[in-house]
Chain A
Amino acid sequence: MNFTGYDNEGFYDELFDAKGQPRRGADLLVQRINALPDSELQRRQQAAEKALLNLGITFNVYSDDDQTEKIFPFDIVPRIIQSQEWQHLEVGLKQRIRALNLFIDDVYHDQKILKDGVVPADLVLSAEGFRKPCIGLNPPCGVWCHVTGTDLVRGGDGEYYVLEDNLRCPSGVSYVLENRQIMKRTFPLVFDACSVQPVTDYPIRLLEMLQEMAPAGVRSPVCVVWTPGIYNSAYFEHSYLAQQMGVQLVEGSDLVVQRGEVMMRTTKGLERVDVIYRRIDDDFIDPKVFRADSMLGVPGLMEAYSKGRVALANAPGSGVADDKAVYAYVPEIIKYYLQEDPLINNVPTYACWREDERNYVLENLDKLVVKAVNESGGYGMLIGPHASAAEREEFRRRIIAKPRIYIAQPTLSLSRVPVLMGDHFEGRHVDLRPYLLCGDDNIYVMPGGLTRVALKKGSLVVNSSQGGGSKDTWVINSTEGPSPESPLQEQKQEQEQDQNQEDAPC
């Protein structure tokens, strides 16, 4: 098994440079894979898939009648990110979330940014994620968005761009943690030698952050994860995070508001809840305030929240900054609140509500990606170069009818990674979703994050609901390099293993 014959096909490849040489930090991994006996890598890939199935690490697919659970396809070759490059991304991501939190707080209080005309007021106030009942609310520590999963992509120029902010209930972090477990089992020696930055402390950090948010005076806060239930597509993750943090996983029917306090129903009666990590959309959390037909919600929750009796992560209303129309203004938002230039750029975005940009979009539908601002998960999207004439015509009609809800971006030549396809490697497009936790006065960025792969040849859609898979992401400390004695040690270890086991170490 080796990379001989692997072709970049002119795309930016995450593992190999344009000349086909391993990038900095990736050479050790490439060497090891090249040295594996035939079909060994496939064997490990199959073992990893079997492990995922037995562990029941699956997601649910909506509107799929019988087989509703699927494994999230997993590719065994990790994506490598070099640590200097990562440091730049980390600083840029922190900058962005600080500005977005200031923006949300402003929108629900003085609305200075709207009054100053930096972002059009009508655009913000008509955003799908804007929640009028949240005006004037003061979430604990002034933070609205506690958990973020920013989507990044790398273009053909080798630069990273922010594609989406995902400020509501970003999912996928459980796959990062499980993928890492599996990779440690699959490539223990390479893993050890590469000094990969850890991600496994995420659940502890998440719990600490939630505890910090507890209402004043609560000594040992009771935190819970709130799931819509086992039929939700991310149910595995909800239960996984609750399990890893050692807190209760609750459904709406477990919670009740009594005398202004949020309580859960237990076998010994009602017990108070202080902090809720909710993985359920704003619309459904309280039928008294938001959608009255919500069967999942807890009547009276928002009142308890607004009086500071319970904390919610993320704060209701955070989604206003997650609107794809607002996205177009994030560079201005960063400049406005922080007086800094954005460290990571947006993907160039054409706003269809501006006449000149709309005309450009309509004339170039075959070159652009068009997105509805209120859709996610790869739905409501046109990929111009891959679409039929009829599909483009359909979007032309839609854009003219409702310009407010469409943006367009150039079709990015997304970077690729090698993926195991049968007995050889092929390049596939990827994105990257690092996860951020915003606490009282510190922001944590998980090193790496979820690398999603569009497994269909040539496809640019990485969403799990549409044929996407994932791979582990290794942020590698290549600056220090391996210490002088370690390669020897490793060789020795390897020889010993060769003698003892049939398994080739890697």
Chain B
Amino acid sequence: MLSRVANSIYWLNRYIERAENVARFISANYNMTLDLPEDASDQWQPLINTTGDDELFKKLYGEATRDNAIRFLIFDRRYTNSIYSCVRAARENARSIREYISSEMWEQLNTFYLMINAASEETVMDLPHQFSAEVMNASHAFIGITDATMNHGEGWHFGRLGRMLERADKTTRLLDVKYFILLPSVDYVGSPYDNILWAALLRSASAFEMYRKQFGRIAPRNITNFLLLDRSFPRAVHYSLAAAMKSLNQISGGQSDSYSNKAQQALGRLLAEFQYASLEEIFDYGLHEYLDVTQTRINQVGEAIYEGFFKVKIEG
């Protein structure tokens, strides 16, 4: 397939997944702050910090409040990772490969964009939770339509590769939201409030029921274990990396225990790290630090994919 087309379908999927995850962040944070005691409830700055784009936010808005944080993350056209910008970018990518994807995929994406565009013209955002749920639904619908209407060939694998890398990255960041939330005092750690926060986090990753079935009680270590290392929960980092690897192997056409390009090498090593990781080591290393390193390594995989597939070298 054309390199440009592969590039577009990869990014189109990354952007949709990114938009979905921004919605998840907002939903997680919103739920947490509603449950916290009043003196600790107005915590939107920590959410901005998890995005890594706090400098831009400060420049545009200054102090974080519920309203401006939501405006920034959902509708701000100047912010390239806002839901609006992501969906718009996804649609632009889809537009450039409209003949390649199914018309059902295009139509879903286009209505998704029209929905966000219409919402961006409203002045108040009363129900961020409901809006976030709509964004997640639209993203799920897109994934389902893609699976059901497009050949599971090279293009589909590029799409899944993009989506799964993005998801792995964003689940690490979602785990980090908890790290940034400032509890009124250390006494809160292990208190009922703390459990409420963890449960809200699970819900935001659509992981609450699946987690309950496996572990029952809300326990921070188990939750970390589930979201990071689970092999069958589709939003867990390990699962996402394994799925990305499967697609990359299909694209590269090599064996699963060797590599034929740098992207395969980088992703294979990262996946092995997760296959043989233990929770003890991760906590010894520091969860936040571990997540940070993982994010950097996912970025390196992305760069290798760009070099290997989207940039074609010409002789002479």
Contacts and interface: CB of A to CB of B under 8 A. Distances in A.
Does B associate with A? yes
Interface of A: 53-56, 225, 229-230, 235-236, 239-243, 247-251, 253-254, 256, 258, 264-267, 269-270
Instruction: Summarize A's interface: helix, strand, loop or mixed.
Output: mixed
Given A266-B3, A267-B6, A239 B98 contact: yes
B134 interface: no
Contacts of B110: 54-56
A267 B99 contact: no
Please give me the 5 A-B residue pairs with the lowest Cβ-Cβ distance, nearest first.
A243-B99, A242-B99, A265-B312, A239-B98, A56-B110
Nearest to B91: A56
B314 A267 contact: no
Contacts of B6: 267
Contacts of B99: 225, 239-243, 247-249
B2 A56 contact: no
A404 B95 CA distance: 42
Contact of B312 (A236, A243, A266): A266
Contact of B111 (A54, A258, A265, A266): A54
B106 interface: yes
A269 B312 contact: yes
Interface string B30-48: 0000000000000000000
Contact of A267 (B100, B251, B315): B251
Nearest to B3: A265
A264 B1 CA distance: 9
A240 B101 CA distance: 11
B309 interface: yes
Given A225-B99, A243-B100, A266-B3, 20 more contacts: A54-B114, A55-B103, A56-B106, A229-B96, A230-B96, A239-B96, A241-B99, A247-B99, A248-B2, A249-B97, A249-B98, A253-B4, A254-B2, A254-B4, A258-B314, A264-B2, A265-B3, A266-B312, A267-B251, A267-B310
A56 B312 contact: no
Given A240-B99, A242-B99, A250 B2 contact: yes
A247 B2 CA distance: 11
Contacts of A240: 98-99
A244 to B, nearest CB: 8
A225 B309 CA distance: 22
A240 B310 CA distance: 24
Interface in B191-224: none
A243 B104 CA distance: 13
Given A54-B110, A54-B114, A56-B107, A265 B95 contact: no
B141 to A, nearest CB: 14
B154 interface: yes
B155 to A, nearest CB: 9
B316 interface: yes
B2 A266 contact: yes
A62 B314 CA distance: 34
Nearest to B311: A265
B54 interface: no
Contacts of B2: 248, 250, 254, 264-267
Interface string B284-316: 000000000000000000000000011010111
Contact of A243 (B96, B98, B107, B314): B98
Nearest to B312: A265
A241 to B, nearest CB: 8
Contacts of B76: none
A37 B2 CA distance: 52
A230 B92 contact: yes
A266 B96 contact: no
B4 A270 contact: no
B171 to A, nearest CB: 27
Given A239-B99, A258-B315, A53 B4 contact: no
Nearest to A249: B99
Interface string B1-42: 111111000000000000000000000000000000000000
B309 A56 contact: no
A56 B95 contact: yes
A248 B92 CA distance: 18
Nearest to A51: B107
Contacts of A241: 99
A264 B5 CA distance: 12
A229 B6 CA distance: 16
A225 B315 CA distance: 25
B145 to A, nearest CB: 14
A249 B310 CA distance: 16
- Which of A225, A230, A253 gathers the greatest number of chain B CB atoms within 10 Å? A230
Contacts of B3: 254, 265-267
B106 A267 contact: no
Contacts of B114: 53-54
A365 B58 CA distance: 62
A265 B1 CA distance: 8
B154 A235 contact: no
B107 A267 contact: no
A247 B92 CA distance: 20
Contacts of B312: 265-266, 269-270
Contacts of A267: 1-3, 6, 154, 158, 251, 309-310
A235 B95 contact: yes
A236 B158 CA distance: 24
B92 A55 contact: no
Nearest to B158: A267
Contacts of B1: 266-267
Contacts of B310: 267
B95 A55 contact: no
A120 to B, nearest CB: 44
A365 B113 CA distance: 48
A270 B4 CA distance: 13
A102 B274 CA distance: 70
B316 A258 contact: yes
A253 B100 CA distance: 17
B118 to A, nearest CB: 11
A140 B62 CA distance: 65
A248 B98 CA distance: 10
Contacts of B314: 256, 258, 265, 270
